[in-house]
A and B are shown apart, each in its own frame.
Chain A
Amino acid sequence: MSQFEFIRNLQAARNLVSPWIESQSPVPPSADRAETYRRVTFWLTPRTVKGFRAKDFASLGEERQRELTEAVRAFLEVAKKVPGIEEPTPEQVEAALPHFLKILQPFQPALTEPDESRVIDLLRNVPLPDGVAGLRYEFGYLSEDEPLVRVYAIIDFEPLEDWERARLIRDRIDDAILTSGLARTGYALFRGVEEERSLNAGVLK
């Protein structure tokens, strides 16, 4: 349970920089991941490593297990100093980032879902009408045995003004996931182009 919780918390932190599928507009894809972590700093919280117990990771081997434990300790040392309701300082981000990246490293296979490439292929092939600047997806869980993919359609219009088009976009993404045979629940949500920019800039919290 604890190991699951730890991986899930790491995944939540990684999802803050969810992948960009396609772009038909000038919204920039996320640049270098570390660079994005500098701008979007939700990950800098003790919650990111909540559930960590060194003994759960004996399979990594003694040396990597020790490195991981040390990285978690050093990360926590910084994270605990960030007041919950305030932004971390640039110095705190720089102090914590190397440890955070080191923590993520051994779990990349676990954080990369086995069906991720299928999800990407699937989303690339959804026929979408004009008005969709791109898609982002993020993985999560509805419960421990119910994996989820949440797909954001980044749209450049107000859904209220053209709900039929919005619904068509949503339904096509929903249909693609539903009929794909993926062993996960999935569905579409909307996000505005400006909202996407704000999120990328770490403005929208």
Chain B
Amino acid sequence: MSHHGELLAQAWHLLNREPKHPKQASLRRAISSAYYAVFHLLLDEATRLMIPNNQLRPLARRAFDHGEMRRAADLFKQGTLPANLKNALGSTAIVPADLQTVARSFSRLQAERQTADYDLSVSFTRLATHGLVQEADNTFVAWNRVRKDPVAESFLIALLLVRRWDR
């Protein structure tokens, strides 16, 4: 199984570990795993797209930054393409609904991962965690449907380059 697949499976496992009285630690780690599952899925796809040499891919993965990736996701989740991409892909290009799902999911999961890992004043419940793990799961499905779309490919590139495009 892929690394991202294992992380998603781990998120489900942690969510269901104590079905009646889940421990905060299990819920927090489930959220963290759900986020990293999506994070690594996108990294895997982005580096496969951009780096043909599979020996070099692990090095390229380290160039991605969580904050920049969220910035890219925040752009795409609104459903309208940034002007530079519209110019490149054609004025009729739109953000497919599945890609919006992926972008929204990435933003939410990242924010909640940060809270889960660092903010002990917030209590997580089973349902909130369930919603997030399910969302990560759906993101895998949505991504598989949309991954060949040119706009989805531009999203992968944006995950790495969005800040530089703003220059």
Interface residue count on the B side (C-beta < 8 Å): 25
- Whether A195 and B127, one on each chain, are in contact in the complex, defined by CB atoms closer than 8 angstroms, is yes
- Whether B104 and A174, one on each chain, are in contact in the complex, defined by CB atoms closer than 8 angstroms, is yes
Question: Main SS of the interface on chain B?
Answer: helix
Residue of B at shortest CB range from A198? B125
Question: What is the bound-complex CA distance between A166 and B115, given in angstroms?
Answer: 22
Which residues on the B side are within 8 Å of A15 (C-beta)?
A: 121-122
Which residues on the B side are within 8 Å of A155 (C-beta)?
A: 127
- Whether B108 and A160, one on each chain, are in contact in the complex, defined by CB atoms closer than 8 angstroms, is no
Residue of B at shortest CB range from A157? B127
Asked whether any CB of chain B lies closer than 8 Å to the CB of A20, the reply is no
Interface centre among B112, B114, B132, B135 (most CB of A within 10 A): B135
Asked whether any CB of chain A lies closer than 8 Å to the CB of B154, the reply is no
- Whether B128 and A190, one on each chain, are in contact in the complex, defined by CB atoms closer than 8 angstroms, is yes
- Whether B125 and A204, one on each chain, are in contact in the complex, defined by CB atoms closer than 8 angstroms, is yes
Which residues on the A side are within 8 Å of B123 (C-beta)?
A: 199, 204-205
Question: What's the nearest-Cβ distance from chain A to residue B134, in Å?
Answer: 6
Asked whether any CB of chain B lies closer than 8 Å to the CB of A148, the reply is yes
Question: What's the nearest-Cβ distance from chain B to residue A51, in Å?
Answer: 14
- Whether B131 and A187, one on each chain, are in contact in the complex, defined by CB atoms closer than 8 angstroms, is no
With beta carbons under 8 angstroms apart, the residue of B24, B107, B130, B138 that contacts A185 is B107
| Nearest 3 pairs of A and B residues by beta carbon | A195-B125, A190-B131, A12-B121
Residues of A within 8 A of B (CB): 12-13, 15-16, 42, 47, 140, 142, 148, 152, 155, 158-160, 163, 166-167, 170, 174, 178, 185, 187, 189-192, 195, 199, 204-205
